[in-house]
Structure 1
Amino acid sequence: MPLFMDVHHMEGGVAVGDVAQAHMADLQEQAQHGVSYLKYWVNEEQGRIFCLVDAPDADAANTVHREAHGLVADEIYQVSEGS
């Protein structure tokens, strides 16, 4: 399955606890769309969230975000894993 990295730009910053709650909502929704959210990273001050996800396509990954909590990615890139 393709691997994607998505990027969220949150105006005014973001709290890591809020991102953890959104991630938990993604985990509850993901199976319905054949998606697996693997990890996320947060830059609280700059309001940036990065999500790593196995998904059939970018639309499926964004659908999980939309249905779980409404915070869709501003950017999404197909990536390859390296060491």
Structure 2
Amino acid sequence: MPRFMDVHTIEGGVSAADVAGAHQADLATQGPHGVSYLKYWVDEQAGKIFCLVDAPDAEAANTVHREAHGLVADEIYPVSEHV
């Protein structure tokens, strides 16, 4: 399945606790869309959130965000892991 990294920018910053709640909402919503949110990273002060997700396509990943909490990504990139 394709893997994506999405990027959110929240003006004025964001709290890790709020992002954790949004991530839990993603997990509760993702199943019917064939999406699997794997990890996320937060820069609270800069208001940046990065989400790693397996999804059939970028729109499916954004659909989960939209339905779960309404915070769709500003940018989304296909990525692959290289170790």
Q: Give 1:70's aligned residue.
A: 70
Alignment match, 1:26: 26
Number of residue pairs the alignment of both structures matches: 83
Provide Cα deviations, 1:7-27, integer angstroms capped at 9, x if missing partner.
000000000000000000000
RMSD: 0.3
TM-score (norm 2): 0.99
Structure 2 unaligned blocks of 5 or more: none
Runs of 4+ in 1 over 4 A off after TM superposition: none
CA displacement at 1:82 relative to structure 2: 1.5
Q: Counterpart of 2:19 in 1: which secondary structure?
A: helix
Structure 1 position 79 matched with structure 2 position 79: yes
Distance in 2, Cα, partners of 1:47 & 1:27:
21
Q: Which runs of 5+ in 1 are unaligned?
A: none
Percent pairwise identity: 76
Q: TM-score, normalised by structure 1?
A: 0.99
